[in-house]
Homo-oligomer: A and B are copies of this chain.
Amino acid sequence: MKRIGVFTSGGDAPGMNAAIRAVVRQAHALGLEVIGIRRGYAGMILGEMVPLGVRDVANILQRGGTILLTARSQEFLTEEGRAKAAARLKAAGIGGLVAIGGDGTFRGAMRLTEEQGVPVVGVPGTIDNDLYGTDYTIGFDTAVNTALEAIDRIRDTAASHERVFFIEVMGRDSGFIALDVGLAGGAEVIAVPEEPLDPKAIAEGLLESQRRGKTSSIVVVAEGAYPGGAAGLLAAIKEHVRVEARVTVLGHIQRGGSPTAKDRILASRLGAAAVEALARSTGGVMVGEVEGEVAFTPLKEAVERKKDINRVLLGLSRVLAL
């Protein structure tokens, strides 16, 4: 292999640029050329490619978003589309790919490998932290800190008005963001998809904490924790007790911004490790960090196995939210 491709796909995450930079520079150190593929699988099919030298990735380490852009592709979901993509890669002399993204990205990558014979190594870039085979995904730490900063602001208002706030954070199927943000933000309640929710019990808990003298509370709700998200949960609670509360949906601010130190380091490490893995293997794996060490997991497992939230921390949040 003398030339590899790199692309980002799916939702953008802070640190993707740091990963691209590491891919390019580690490849350079190993004597490999790098081609950047723009707009994910859509651009791959159209042949949107640009050579990336070591100076092309200067000064992007600290930038949010992705310089390679990202897009969805219906065509890539068909075998015909994937064959086109593979033909483009072959024509460009690209012998292997580093795919930076989440589970949708990796499902596509698996097919590209199995069906079209293109070696791919995955780098976990998603704020959701919902991939098996890595303790943290690139972008998660930044998203958590961004949401936390928002909660700190809202708490000023909550405390001044002595109100309850329901704050919805990202996480359709997983509560990683909600748990970390809730614990770090001193939330009274943390609602995650992994645990059954009892609106009546939450209602009683809020009343009970008011009786104990707590004049304002924060409830953190993962978007997938209850039908209708934070607003849905509040409505369900109001069927049981009269609680005055406001809802804020943090939304897309959680995706952007300059990555934290941790995300930059993780992205640097995994981007570099992905190139090394690609250089010496036939791909089909995701590179992750497990207990501080680089680890490889088959893409299939990374996507299909479920990583659980830390139940100990969830329990701790209840003890601390007095």
List residues of chain A with CB under 8 Å of any chain B CB: 8, 11-12, 14, 16, 21-22, 25-26, 28-29, 54-55, 58-59, 61-66, 69-71, 135, 141, 144-146, 148, 150, 152-157, 159-162, 165, 180-181, 183-186, 212-214, 246, 248-253, 255-258, 260-262, 264-265, 268-269, 272, 291-292, 313, 316, 319-320, 322
Whether the pair B313, A269 counts as a contact (CB closer than 8 A) is yes
Smallest beta-carbon distance A151→chain B, Å: 9
Q: What separation, in Å, do the CA atoms of A161 and B148 have in the docked complex? A: 25
Q: What separation, in Å, do the CA atoms of A246 and B186 have in the docked complex? A: 30
Q: What are 8 residue pairs bridging A and B, where the CB atoms are less than 8 Å apart in the complex?
A: A21-B320, A28-B322, A55-B214, A62-B185, A66-B160, A69-B160, A69-B162, A269-B316
B residues near A63, Cβ cutoff 8 Å: 156
Q: What separation, in Å, do the CA atoms of A249 and B230 have in the docked complex? A: 14
B residues near A29, Cβ cutoff 8 Å: 319, 322
B residues near A257, Cβ cutoff 8 Å: 152-153, 156
Identical chains bound together, number: 4
Whether the pair B320, A64 counts as a contact (CB closer than 8 A) is no
Whether the pair B153, A256 counts as a contact (CB closer than 8 A) is yes
Q: Which residue on B lies nearest to A254, using beta carbons?
A: B153
Whether the pair A156, B248 counts as a contact (CB closer than 8 A) is no
Known: A11-B157, A64-B153, A69-B161. 13 other contacts (CB 8 A): A12-B156, A22-B320, A26-B319, A58-B214, A61-B184, A62-B186, A71-B161, A135-B292, A153-B256, A157-B252, A183-B268, A260-B260, A265-B313
Smallest beta-carbon distance A229→chain B, Å: 13
A256-B320 contact, Cβ under 8 Å, with A184-B264, A291-B292: no
Smallest beta-carbon distance A28→chain B, Å: 7
Whether the pair A157, B264 counts as a contact (CB closer than 8 A) is no
Whether the pair B252, A246 counts as a contact (CB closer than 8 A) is yes
Q: Which of B16, B26, B65, B249 contacts A159 (CB 8 A)?
A: B65
Whether the pair B252, A248 counts as a contact (CB closer than 8 A) is yes
Interface centre among A22, A162, A248, A252 (most CB of B within 10 A): A252
Q: What separation, in Å, do the CA atoms of A141 and B146 have in the docked complex? A: 15
Smallest beta-carbon distance A81→chain B, Å: 20
Q: What separation, in Å, do the CA atoms of A267 and B248 have in the docked complex? A: 27
B residues near A157, Cβ cutoff 8 Å: 11-12, 64-65, 252, 255-256
Q: Which of B25, B70, B264, B313 contacts A161 (CB 8 A)?
A: B70
Q: What separation, in Å, do the CA atoms of A161 and B265 have in the docked complex? A: 24
B residues near A316, Cβ cutoff 8 Å: 268-269, 272
Q: What separation, in Å, do the CA atoms of A253 and B169 have in the docked complex? A: 13
B residues near A251, Cβ cutoff 8 Å: 248-249
B residues near A180, Cβ cutoff 8 Å: 261, 265
B residues near A161, Cβ cutoff 8 Å: 12, 69-71
Please list the 3 inter-chain residue pairs (A to B) with the smallest Cβ-Cβ separation, ordered nearest first: A153-B256, A64-B156, A156-B256
Smallest beta-carbon distance A152→chain B, Å: 5
